[in-house]
């Protein structure tokens, strides 16, 4: 029988795992079994932390909108209610960037909502 050289796919898989664990400490960066386990845990933490990051960003948006609206003499809740009744459909992310970077435009928007 002819000789079969095996393992190209499995070697690729191992290399991919070890590339993903670059920068990890101790054996988790170089040993396949430890690296695979570390990646599993890292994936769980990444998912949860991305959710937390979104949560923090949303709270920051409301804080920025509130600060901008109070500078123009309206509270956050009254501004959002006025925007909904006037059918101005801007999401909170856009409103927060307007309040932070373009206060003149945000002031016009609050005047329009009043």
Hunting for tokens 């920025």 — which residue is that? Answer: 64
The DSSP 8-state label assigned to residue 91 in this structure reads: -
Residue 21 pLDDT > 90: yes
**Superfamily of domain 13-113 in the CATH hierarchy:** Ribosomal protein L20, C-terminal domain (1.10.1900.20)
pLDDT band at 18 (very low <50, low <70, confident <90, very high): very high
Residue 5 is predicted with a pLDDT of 79
Residue 55 is predicted with a pLDDT of 95
SS3 60: helix
So where are the chain's domains? 13-113
pTM, to two decimals:
0.71
Residue 109 is predicted with a pLDDT of 94
79, with CB counted inside 10 A (0-12, 13-18, 19+), is buried
Compute the average pLDDT of residues 57-86. 95
Residue 57 is inside which H or E element, if any? helix 32-71
Distance from CA of residue 11 to its chain's centroid?
A: 34
């Amino acid at each position: 029988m002819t000789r079969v050289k095996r393992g190209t796919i499995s070697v690729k898989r191992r290399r991919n795992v070890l590339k993903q664990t670059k920068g990890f400490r101790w054996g988790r960066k170089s040993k396949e079994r430890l690296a695979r386990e570390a990646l599993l845990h890292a994936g769980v933490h990444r998912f949860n932390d991305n959710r937390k990051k979104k949560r923090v960003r949303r709270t920051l948006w409301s804080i920025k909108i509130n600060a901008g609206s109070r500078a123009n003499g309206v509270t956050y809740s009254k501004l959002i209610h006025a925007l909904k009744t006037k059918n101005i459909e801007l999401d909170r992310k856009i409103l927060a960037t307007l309040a932070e970077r373009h206060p003149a435009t945000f002031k016009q928007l609050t005047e329009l909502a009043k």
